[in-house]
């Protein structure tokens, strides 16, 4: 019987623990979680703030009771502090300060990531009580919720216009707040090419968000006017006040436990793992936002996402009890809803493909989401990137209205990338068609044909 200890109770940790129990119900699985909220869907937090998902308990993928019924021993409010690799023991500290250690046969570390402060002065020193927030955990969620209820802020500055920032802009607008969204680059959602990012910005602006691009925030301070965000804007200076500041500028891997035990860090300063999720430390695997990711087009990269964390966790759990499963790797598929628009991407942009040694070319197509004669047809904007040397599909980006099946259409491209198809072969796929839902040549295929012609 294997004694498996898992550190971390979010996507990667719980996936690992459940997989191990599923494959071998005889495995003794203990999950050590720093807080009291195992298996919460942090991806759903923005929808708690829009008010669409209430109460907060609904965000649980599974309750603690569900997890215990599946055979997991939960050690909640317990911080893992040190790994004794040679002795196969994990030192832990309970909320009351009691220190103890757990023996293990196999250990999986899934301590995830922490919100980045991006070197912005004042963030960290100013707290949620001051009205300055980050958003990654349920504790962050409760702190923001308390602040919104207690002070009823009327204005917010959101630093960052990535997917979390955009989702939170929508949430604050839904609560009647005035929102300024500050972005360092020339366009929001820098994971897309600016041509498509501009459509997302227009959607946010149409809903009243004041989007300020080309602005690097360097500080947040308290002043008589409220909280003041300072920085540089297009060569000049930027200074704006608001009642509340939310900093959502990405994450940094939470690797202290593993690094102190001797694990190596690589891309994005995440812990290096191989495809079997081994860290190189004997009997210690790792998965999720704290580790590097195998990317099928790029090799090794760092791209922290919930989907990847679930898959890596499942692989780690299987291998910890004697399995031999290699993580197949990602292709970087992402999707976000911004008000009534959906933006998605998979694979590589032109500017990412070139330094990776490809010879990319990208074309833009606008197609209908279904036959125009049937009511409600909307445009989908598609950018397809392929390699000019061999026609291989390298990536795709889509922007369309909510309800236009943008997410499922990007998944067609993602599947093609996984299979290593050429752009041209997308036209051969037997995709479904009925006039209210599609066209004989789907938007995906029209975009592929435009690239190939
Ligand atoms: C607002 C928001 C929206 C998102 N939306 C999406 C989305 O739509 N799609 C998507 O794919 N991804 C999304 N993500 C990203 C996704 O949520 C993360 O990639 C995923 O949750 C990472 O899971 P993880 O298990 O690696 O780590 P984390 O979720 O970071 O969890 C780490 C776990 O480890 C515990 N822990 C940490 N240190 C210790 C310690 N020393 N001892 C014990 N326990 C410890 C923590 O308490 C926690 O349980 C979103 C993230 C946020 C914040």
Q: How far is the CA of 289 from the centre of ligand 1 (A)?
A: 7
Please indicate, yes or no, if residue 122 is contained in any of the structural domains: no
According to the model, what pLDDT value does residue 234 have?
81
Closest residue CA from atom 23 of ligand 1: 11
Residue 342 has pLDDT above 90, yes or no: yes
Q: What is residue 235's predicted lDDT score, i.e. its pLDDT?
A: 82
> Considering only CA atoms, which residue is closest to atom 14 of ligand 1?
43
pTM over 0.95: yes
Q: Please say whether the beta carbons of 72 and 63 come within 8 A.
A: no
Beta carbons of 392 and 386 less than 8 angstroms apart: yes
* Ligand 1, atom 10: closest residue by C-alpha: 306
Indicate which residue's Cα is closest to atom 16 of ligand 1: 306
Domain region containing 382:
334-452
Residues 242, 155: one domain? Answer: yes
Flag whether 21 is in a domain.
Answer: yes
Q: What integer pLDDT is reported at residue 364 of this predicted model?
A: 98
User: Quick one: pLDDT at residue 226?
Assistant: 87
Give per-residue pLDDT as tens, 386-431.
999 999 999 999 999 999 999 999 999 999 999 999 999 999 999 9
pLDDT value at residue 17: 98
Instruction: For residue 301, report the distance from its CA to the centre of ligand 1, in Å.
Output: 18
The residue behind tokens 């006039």 is 435
Q: Choose the residue to mutate in 10, 33, 134 for probing ligand 1, maximizing ligand atoms within 8 Å of C-beta.
A: 10
143 and 243, same domain (yes or no): yes
Tens-digit pLDDT profile for residues 44-84:
999 999 999 999 999 999 999 999 999 999 999 999 999 99
- Nearest atom (ligand 1) to Cα of 10: 25
Distance 163 CA to ligand 1 centre (A): 15
Q: Which of 1, 48, 56 is nearest to 27 (CA)?
A: 1
Domain identity same for 230 and 260: no
For residue 224, the model assigns a pLDDT of 87
Beta strands in 317-420 (DSSP E): 334-338, 341-347, 360-368, 379-387, 393-401
* Residue finishing a domain among 187, 220, 247: 247
Using alpha carbons, list the distances in angstroms from residue 105 to 7, 27, 109, 355. 14, 10, 13, 42
| Whether residue 1 has pLDDT greater than 90 | no
Residue-level pLDDT at 61: 96
Residue 109, domain member (yes or no): yes
Band the pLDDT of 225: cuts 50, 70, 90.
confident
- Ligand 1 centre from 11 Cα, in Å? 6
pLDDT tens column, 82-97 = 999 999 999 999 999 9
CB 19 within 8 A of CB 141: no
Instruction: Give me ligand 1 centre to Cα 353, in Å.
Output: 28
Backbone φ, ψ for residue 272 (5° rounding): -75, 125
∠ Cα 332 9 283 (to 5°): 85
Residue 234 and residue 215 share a domain = yes
Element (H, E) at 409: helix 406-419
Distance from C-alpha of 154 to C-alpha of 73, rounded to nearest angstrom: 44
DSSP state of 373: T
In-domain check, residue 338? yes
Q: Could you tell me the distance, in angstroms and rounded to a whole number, from the CA of residue 305 to the centre of ligand 1?
A: 8
Mean pLDDT of 262-291: 97
For the chain, give the percent of residues with pLDDT over 90: 97
194-197: long-range pairs with CB below 8 Å, 24+: 195/364, 195/383, 196/343, 196/381, 196/383, 196/397, 196/399
Name the nearest CA neighbour of 250 among 353, 186, 163, 152: 163
Domain assignment present for 311? yes
Provide the mean pLDDT of the chain: 97
pLDDT at 294 exceeding the cut of 90: yes
How many angstroms is it from 317 CA to the middle of ligand 1?
17
Here the tokens at position 86 are: 């040679």
CA of 112 to the centre of ligand 1 (A): 5
342 and 278, same domain (yes or no): no
Same domain, 157 and 306: no
Q: Which residues have CB under 6 Å of ligand 1? A: 7-13, 32-35, 42-43, 45-46, 79-80, 110-113, 135-136, 164, 254, 257, 288-289, 304-307, 309
For the domain that residue 442 is a member of, what is the CATH number?
3.50.50.60
Crossing angle of the two packed helices 406-419 and 443-452, in degrees rounded to 10: 50
Q: What is the pLDDT of residues 187-200, one digit of tens each?
A: 999 999 999 999 99
Verify that 233 and 342 share a domain, yes or no. no
Domains in the chain, number? 3
Average pLDDT on 176-180 reads 98
Neighbours of 226 (CB within 10 A): 17
Quote the ligand 1 centre to 392 CA distance (angstroms).
33
Residue 123 lies in a domain: no
Residue with tokens 């804007």: 233
C-alpha–C-alpha distance, residues 8 and 281, integer Å = 18
Separation between Cα atoms, residue 383 and residue 193, nearest integer Å? 9
Residues 342 and 410 in one domain: yes
> Over 90: is that where the pLDDT of 206 sits?
yes
Same domain? For 374 and 284 the reply is no
pLDDT tens, residue by residue, 111-156: 999 999 989 999 989 999 999 999 999 999 999 999 999 999 999 9
Same domain, 194 and 89: no
Beta-bridged to residue 238, according to DSSP, are 231
Atom of ligand 1 nearest to the CA of 33: 44
- Out of 269, 297, 320, pick the residue that ends a domain: 320
Q: Which atom of ligand 1 is nearest to the CA of 113?
A: 30
Same domain for 109 and 134, yes or no, is no
Ligand 1 atom with the smallest distance to the CA of 46 is 1
My answer on whether 132 and 71 are in the same domain is no
Percent of the chain's residues with pLDDT above 70: 100
* Spatial distance between the Cα atoms of 123 and 221, rounded to a whole number of angstroms: 9
Q: Is residue 325 part of a domain?
A: no
**Residue 403 maps to a domain:** yes
């Amino acid at each position: 019987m294997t004694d498996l200890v898992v550190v971390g109770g979010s996507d990667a940790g719980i996936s690992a623990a459940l997989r191990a129990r599923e494959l071998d119900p005889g495995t003794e699985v203990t999950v050590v979680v720093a807080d009291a909220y195992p298996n919460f869907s942090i991806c759903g937090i923005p929808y708690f703030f829009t008010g669409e998902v209430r109460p907060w308990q609904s965000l649980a993928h599974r309750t603690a009771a569900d997890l215990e019924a599946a055979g997991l021993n939960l050690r909640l409010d317990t911080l893992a502090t040190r790994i004794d690799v040679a002795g196969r023991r994990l030192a832990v500290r309970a909320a009351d300060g009691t220190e103890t250690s757990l023996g293990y046969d196999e250990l999986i570390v899934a301590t995830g990531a922490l919100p980045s402060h991006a070197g912005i002065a004042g963030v960290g020193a100013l707290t949620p009580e001051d009205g300055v927030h980050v958003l990654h955990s349920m504790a962050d969620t409760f702190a923001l919720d308390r602040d919104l209820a207690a002070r009823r802020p009327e204005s917010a500055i959101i630093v960052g216009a990535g997917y979390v920032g955009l989702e939170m802009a929508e949430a604050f607008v839904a609560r009647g707040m005035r929102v300024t969204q500050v972005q360092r680059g020339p366009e929001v959602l820098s994971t897309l090419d600016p041509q498509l990012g501009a459509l997302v910005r227009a959607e946010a602006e149409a809903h009243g968000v004041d989007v300020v691009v080309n602005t690097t925030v360097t500080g947040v301070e308290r002043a008589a006017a409220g909280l003041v965000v300072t920085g540089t804007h297009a060569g000049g200076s930027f200074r704006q006040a608001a009642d509340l500041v939310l900093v959502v500028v990405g994450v940094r891997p939470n690797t202290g436990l593993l690094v102190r035990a001797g694990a190596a860090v690589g891309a994005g300063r995440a812990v290096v793992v191989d495809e079997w999720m081994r860290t190189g430390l004997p009997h210690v695997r790792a998965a999720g936002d704290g580790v590097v990711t195998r990317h099928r087009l790029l090799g090794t990269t760092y791209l922290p996402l919930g989907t990847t964390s679930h898959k890596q966790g499942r692989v780690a759990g299987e291998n910890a009890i004697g399995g031999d499963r290699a993580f197949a790797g990602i292709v970087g598929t992402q999707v976000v809803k911004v008000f009534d628009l959906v933006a998605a991407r998979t694979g590589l942009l032109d500017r990412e493909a070139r330094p990776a040694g490809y010879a990319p070319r990208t074309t833009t197509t606008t197609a209908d989401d279904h036959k125009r004669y049937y009511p409600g047809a909307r445009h989908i904007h598609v950018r397809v990137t392929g390699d000019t040397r061999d026609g291989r599909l390298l990536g795709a980006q889509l922007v369309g209205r909510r309800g236009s099946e943008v997410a499922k259409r990007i998944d067609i491209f993602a599947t093609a990338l996984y299979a290593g198809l050429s752009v041209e072969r997308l036209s051969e796929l037997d995709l479904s068609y009925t006039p209210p839902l599609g066209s004989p040549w789907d938007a995906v295929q029209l975009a592929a044909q435009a690239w190939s012609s």
